[in-house]
């Protein structure tokens, strides 16, 4: 093991030891209260689909004492439920889906109609972000796809601004998980953000996906932070735990994100392999608490 890997491993173990140690010397209730307050410099959220066997209300009640303040990728029927548990839907599901996105003119009418219904409802419930997708290329070149996305999204930006909702286009890898997806590089997404030129359009930078597509994670985030509204975690390879079983140095990545002054959510979107999925989440929170 080289010195960098050893330092990374020590950093992760130290973070976990600090959290475990605090729980040992305090009564359980006090330990939970401390964890809920001591969130570090980044707001942390979690994607519910990764923990799909746990009912939503039970999940909210389990993660809130850990320091989690938001739940990601929920459809409209769940937004109010999460709010009732004292959390926020940090990233709402929006109009369209990964394959059927804004890069094709023939989808715009349906997507705009759905957006006109969803965005005001999200604003009324204090939902800060809504995910949107480019869609798949299907033989379409990247320039045409970008122009089409800009034309369609421009028609709902005023509504998003009025509602206080940020539309976040997710960056996904087209190498392994989402073949043919168009918004598969940060540079393409940043060009779209520049073209739309609105504080209510940002990128959802998924660390897992962008490590697969382009690497250079820290420098890319630093160079494009003004276009990034939300961030997802996940271990590479496999999209599992973000501990030292995978290749990314999450303590260093999270420190770099915090150093930019990023005020959005860092949301965990990994699929736990461990027998206790909530313990995996607790460890991920500790790793990212900088």
Q: How do the domains of the chain map onto residue ranges?
A: 3-288
Maximum Cα interatomic distance, the chain, rounded to a whole number of Å: 61
Q: What angle do CA 109, 131, 58 make, to 5 degrees?
A: 125
pLDDT beneath 70: ranges in the chain: 1-37
Specify the pLDDT at position 7.
39
Over the stretch 1-50, which tens digit does the pLDDT of each residue have? 444 444 344 444 444 444 444 333 334 444 444 444 577 999 999 999 99
Dist. CA 200–CA 196, nearest whole Å: 9
Q: Look at residues 155, 151, 87, 95 and name the one whose alpha carbon lies nearest to residue 121.
A: 95
β-bridge partners, 130: 92, 167
- pTM, 2 dp: 0.88
Q: Look at residues 44, 65, 76 and name the one whose alpha carbon lies nearest to residue 230.
A: 44
Assigned architecture for domain 3-288? Alpha-Beta Barrel (3.20)
Dist. CA 83–CA 89, nearest whole Å: 7
Specify the pLDDT at position 39.
79
Specify the pLDDT at position 9.
42
Dist. CA 163–CA 48, nearest whole Å: 24
Specify the pLDDT at position 10.
44
Dist. CA 184–CA 165, nearest whole Å: 23
Specify the pLDDT at position 132.
98
């Amino acid at each position: 093991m080289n010195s960098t890997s050893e330092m990374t491993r020590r950093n992760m173990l130290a973070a976990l030891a600090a959290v475990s140690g605090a729980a040992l010397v305090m009564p359980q209730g006090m330990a939970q209260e401390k964890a809920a307050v001591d969130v570090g410099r980044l707001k942390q959220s979690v994607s519910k689909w990764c923990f799909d066997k746990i009912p939503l209300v039970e999940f909210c009640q389990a993660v809130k004492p850990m320091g989690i303040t938001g739940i990601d990728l929920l459809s409209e029927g769940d937004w109010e439920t999460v709010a009732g548990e004292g959390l926020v839907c940090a990233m709402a599901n929006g109009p369209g889906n990964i394959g059927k996105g804004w890069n094709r003119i023939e989808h715009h009418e349906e997507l705009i109609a759905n957006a006109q219904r969803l965005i005001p409802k999200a604003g009324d419930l204090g939902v800060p972000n809504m995910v949107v997708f480019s869609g798949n290329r299907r033989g379409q070149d990247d320039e045409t796809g970008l122009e089409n996305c800009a034309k369609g999204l421009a028609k709902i930006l005023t509504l998003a601004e009025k509602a206080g909702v940020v539309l976040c286009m997710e960056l996904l890898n087209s190498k392994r998980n989402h073949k043919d997806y168009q918004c598969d590089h940060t540079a393409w997404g940043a060009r779209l953000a520049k073209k739309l030129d609105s504080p209510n359009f940002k990128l959802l930078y998924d660390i897992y996906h962008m490590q697969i597509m382009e690497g250079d994670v820290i420098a890319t985030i630093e160079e494009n932070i003004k276009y990034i509204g939300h961030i997802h975690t996940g271990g590479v390879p496999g999209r599992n735990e973000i501990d030292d079983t995978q290749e990314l140095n999450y303590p260093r990545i999270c420190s770099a994100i915090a150093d930019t002054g990023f005020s959005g959510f860092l949301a965990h979107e990994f699929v736990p392999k461990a027998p206790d999925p909530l313990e995996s989440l607790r460890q991920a929170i500790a790793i990212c608490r900088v």
